[in-house]
Structure 1
Amino acid sequence: MFSFEVVPGKVVKDILDTSANQIVDLVEDAYLRHDAGLTVNPDSYFLRFPDKPEARIIALPAAIELPEEQRAVGIKWISSFPGNVAEGLPRASAVLVLNDYATGYPKALLEAAGISAVRTAASAAVAARAFARYLPPSGEVAIIGAGVIARTILRYLVTTGYPIESLSVFDLHAESAANLARFATEELGLTAKAVGGLDQALKAQTLITATTAATPYIGQGLRPGQLALNISLRDFQPQVILSAQNYFDDVEHCMKANTSPHLAEQATGGREFVSGTLASVLRGMTLPQPSRGVVFSPFGLGVLDLALGDHVLGRARELGLTHEIADFFGETSRW
């Protein structure tokens, strides 16, 4: 009952790297469980700093009922400090705490930057695969923003077999775009190139945004049959959202924090532009039409992190790769 384990980043990474297909299935299953009411996913909580307005640390508490009557309960604590990039450091860092559902005691601490990136990428892959049934992919893909999330999304699109005949990469930091294009070519076997302008990227049939943009800058509407995976949430101006079919991981969660859909709601005073959720597409309840473009906006649900964290912890235990911290709890009896 009073065991406390730590799973370091290298162990987490190795487990994630060797179970990509299983992770995609876990993420899809978590979306369906959330839709079925088998989760608790409160609002995320943001810690901001007056002298560093671009930086934030976010708490994502959540709980999810898993197969075999298991429950994953805990919280992800993830920081986003864009200034790190100029120092050659990753923008994001994170930990995940898992709690014992019977007692509430913390039972494990996992390095979670990789878990967070992978659950984001897997959600993009699940969405791309689901929408491909209704919007046949042309093979032309573009990604805007060339960081860790973008790299991981590409890996997961390849894992799920999403067609990528040509890949365009755009980033305001040209070196990052070149690095991601080189990674896509050398590591993933794709035909990829860095492009010098946003307009070139917007021509692709499948468009992925993975930036740190705080305010929308894309005003060009989507073409019929075009799919936008709006991963970074604040890239599209409200008129783009209003002219498209819009799907979400969770509607209420996306309508806050001045995301593109939230701005569209503020502009119109309503949510008539909401078409459905990813779960409704997975269940075949809503059918996207190729006559208009589609935007998928995932705010990022903590239940996905918990589902992946539970998987990683279980696998790490099987392999004997957790580190138990003896006497972590100061008192283990009431008297």
Structure 2
Amino acid sequence: MFNFDVVPGDSVLNILRNSRGDVLDIVARTYRSHESGETINPDSYFLRFPEKPDSRIIALPAFLGAEAGLAGIKWISSFPRNTESGIPRASAVLVLNDYETGYPIALLEAANISAARTAASAAVAAKALRPDGCTGTRVAVVGGGVIARNICDYLHAAGCAPDAYVVHDLHEPSAHALAEHVRATQERPASVTSDLGAALEAETVVFATTALEPYVHRPFAAGQVVLNVSLRDLAPEVVLGAQNVLDDVEHCMKANTSPHLAEQLTGNRDFVSGTLAGVLNGEVKLTADRPVVFSPFGLGVLDLAVGAFALRKAREAGTAVSVPNFFGETRRW
């Protein structure tokens, strides 16, 4: 009952890199569980800093359900200026709690968990929204950071095999690094463009930036699939011109995300077609006459599900570090 494990980042990273197929299944399954009401996913809580308006630390509490027997919280920071020093923008920890007693049972390095679940959600969406696959198409990635790299890895793991990738980033070295990563890991053509407009013409467009407000005002065309992972790149009129699939409607309609701006502009949510789980379950039908935009706000239940998997694998591999006597008192008297 009073065991407590710490799972360091190198263990988490190795587990997830070798388990992308499992993570894709976990994310899809957790979306369905969340849709059916088996999980609890309260609002995320944002700690902001007046002198650093681009930075924040976010708390994502969640309950994975009685069958899983786990609750927990991810505490993740996003400090975009870190990249100027060559270090990742995000860092995070995940605490897992036992549902029976409420006691925490583990602490995991979670930047890798967060990146994996984010990328897997994008790949699950791509597979669902492009059921005929990506052959004969191009994938454009706007943003060349850690999340973009993970998305490319998970698209590959999900069987998305485009004819080519094109990468756009304001920081050209990052764009070239991502293109080289795709060429090396997928043996697939990948080029870099400084022309955002050219990137936006690809059949599938992935946004993985740190943008704080919209800069894309041109509409997408029928048949295009947009993975709006960074959530704030698209102007509301672009959202209104598309079929919109969200991971969780209430969660997406806050913090001035592109869907939230569209709601503020129109005063309604009529532009929302449904959730990704609804698409997976066959309950949401999309048409070919308009583009599709997938906007995932990011659910704490996904972090818990992927984190629980990483904890189990780390224990099996002996890479979870047990902390003796973590709890100072284990008896009331």
TM-score interval (norm. to shorter): over 0.9
Matches within 5 A, 1:170-189: 170-189=168-187
**In structure 2, what is the equivalent of residue 119 of structure 1?**
117
Determine the C-alpha separation between the residues in 1 that align with 2:310 and 2:111: 13
| Contact 2:135 2:163 survives alignment (8 Å) | no
1:128 match: secondary structure: helix
**In structure 1, what is the equivalent of residue 237 of structure 2?**
239
Offset, 1:134:
7.1
1:208 match: secondary structure: strand
2:69 match: secondary structure: strand
Amino acid at match of 1:24: L
Offset, 1:293:
0.3
| Contact 1:137 1:205 survives alignment (8 Å) | no
Amino acid at match of 1:297: S
Offset, 1:8:
0.4
**In structure 2, what is the equivalent of residue 97 of structure 1?**
95
Determine the C-alpha separation between the residues in 2 that align with 1:19 and 1:239: 39
1:222 match: secondary structure: coil
**In structure 2, what is the equivalent of residue 59 of structure 1?**
59
**In structure 2, what is the equivalent of residue 229 of structure 1?**
227
Determine the C-alpha separation between the residues in 2 that align with 1:91 and 1:318: 31
Determine the C-alpha separation between the residues in 2 that align with 1:40 and 1:123: 18
**In structure 2, what is the equivalent of residue 205 of structure 1?**
203
**What TM-score results when the alignment is normalised by the length of structure 2?**
0.98
Amino acid at match of 1:311: F
Offset, 1:187:
2.1
Offset, 1:18:
1.0
Offset, 1:136:
6.8
2:194 match: secondary structure: coil
**In structure 1, what is the equivalent of residue 295 of structure 2?**
297
**In structure 2, what is the equivalent of residue 315 of structure 1?**
313
| Contact 1:137 1:206 survives alignment (8 Å) | no
**In structure 1, what is the equivalent of residue 329 of structure 2?**
331
**In structure 1, what is the equivalent of residue 254 of structure 2?**
256
Quick one: which of 183, 191, 194 aligns to 1:196? 194
1:236 match: secondary structure: coil
Taking a change above 3 Å as real, the CA distance of residues 131 and 213 of structure 1, as seen in their structure-2 partners, is same
**In structure 2, what is the equivalent of residue 166 of structure 1?**
164
Offset, 1:70:
2.4
Determine the C-alpha separation between the residues in 2 that align with 1:72 and 1:17: 24
Task: Tell me if 1:155 matches 2:153.
Answer: yes
Q: Deviations over 1:254-301 (max 9, x none)?
A: 000000000000001011101010011001111111110000000000
Determine the C-alpha separation between the residues in 1 that align with 2:26 and 2:218: 35
List runs of 5+ in structure 1 lacking aligned partners. Answer: none
Determine the C-alpha separation between the residues in 1 that align with 2:31 and 2:135: 23
Give the paired residue count: 333
| Contact 1:134 1:288 survives alignment (8 Å) | no
- CA root-mean-square deviation: 1.1
Determine the C-alpha separation between the residues in 1 that align with 2:13 and 2:198: 34
Determine the C-alpha separation between the residues in 2 that align with 1:307 and 1:288: 28
**In structure 1, what is the equivalent of residue 5 of structure 2?**
5
Identity %: 57
| Contact 1:138 1:205 survives alignment (8 Å) | no
Amino acid at match of 2:179: A
Offset, 1:132:
1.0
List runs of 5+ in structure 2 lacking aligned partners. Answer: none
Task: Tell me if 1:27 matches 2:23.
Answer: no
Determine the C-alpha separation between the residues in 2 that align with 1:154 and 1:249: 20
